Amino acid sequence: MANDKKPFRAACVQMRSGLDRARNTNDALALIEEAARAGAAFIATPEMTNVVDRKGARLLDGLPDEDGLEEIAAFAAAARRHGVWLLIGSLALKADAKAANRSFLYSPAGDIVARYDKLHMFDVDLPGGESWKESSIYAAGDNACLVETELANFGLSICYDLRFPRLYRALAQAGADVLCAPAAFTRQTGKAHWKTLLTARAIENGAFIVAPAQGGVHEDGRETYGHSMIIGPWGDVLAEDDGDEPGFVLAEIDLAAAREARRRIPNLSLEPDFKTSIVKQ
């Protein structure tokens, strides 16, 4: 972890994306501009920034691949216009027979410096009959992603990835000091687990967590939890949206806090050999 990186302001943009990609993009651009005016040098939007649609056939109908996705150029222009690092938490785009759930990180010059496809598909059956089968619509990624920048080293993830702590440990051990978790958590799971999971990932890795979220009742009928958050490496909540309305939250990221947390509890340097320590009874 570099010692010469200066503190910076980070912002989480909270959205309620619907079915209209152009409208969602314009909504995101407006909030990005507000966050930039408030002094954010790093701005992150939630999962499925460009469209939220649980109906696979409708989503895929007319959905272009990356080369044809107009949103990509619009967000590049925004990063360049505001001079910020911009993480678009994810965009839906066509990828062969399925869609991809893909993050894009833009530099202040408007260049795409990293792409990340969500690794873990949300295939669950919840109480009350709520059921999700993301793997029927989206193709899973196959690589973790660490991005070294002059602000910080960012580890990328998306939503359901949050429940797989080894991913975050691997990113932290590789040098990530800011872990990004853009999401569209269901209201049911978000109310129960969102803050706890984010806090755990921050504490166990001595890292900042930047977690922009979708919130509210969407056009496709789903309900998401909102409560976008920025959490410090000691588990302290630096910023939190207290509901599910669109907007943004802002906090200062000082990497000295991550260095201090890792000095106090140097668990990232320890890796027990579970193959020899687990005894089957």
DSSP state, residue 268: G
- Ranges of residues in the chain whose predicted pLDDT is under 70: 1-2, 123-124, 129-132, 272-281
**What pTM does this model have?**
0.94
Domain membership of residue 196 (yes or no) is yes
Q: Collapse the DSSP code of 96 into the 3-class scheme (helix H, G, I; strand E, B; otherwise coil) and give the result.
A: coil
pLDDT at site 135: 86
Q: What is the CATH number of the domain that holds 145?
A: 3.60.110.10
| Inside any domain, residue 274 | no
Q: Could you read off the pLDDT of 38-78 as tens digits, one per residue?
A: 999 999 999 999 999 988 899 999 899 999 999 999 999 99
Burial grade of 56 (CB within 10 A; 0-12, 13-18, 19 or more)? middle
The C-alpha atoms of residue 15 and residue 228 are separated, in whole angstroms, by 10
Quick check: is 279 in a domain? no
In a domain, 195, yes or no: yes
Q: What backbone phi and psi angles, to 5 degrees, belong to 255? A: -65, -15
Sequence length of the chain is 281
Supply φ then ψ for residue 265, to 5 degrees. -130, 95
Instruction: Supply 181's token pair.
Output: 């978790």
The domain tally of the chain equals 1
DSSP classification of residue 10: E
278: in domain = no
Please report whether residue 179 resides in a domain: yes
The catalytic residue positions are: 47, 118, 159
Structural domain containing residue 257? 8-265
User: C-alpha distances in angstroms, 244 versus 50, 172, 212, 216?
Assistant: 18, 29, 11, 5
Smallest CA-to-CA distance from 43 within 103, 86, 89 is with 86
| Beta pairing class for 85-95 and 98-106 | antiparallel
- Is there a domain that residue 201 lies in? yes
Report the pLDDT value the prediction gives residue 210, as an integer from 0 to 100: 99
Domain membership of residue 198 (yes or no) is yes
- What pLDDT, on a 0 to 100 scale, did the predictor assign at position 271? 72
Structure tokens at 216: 């509210």
Contact 145, 156 (CB under 8 A): yes
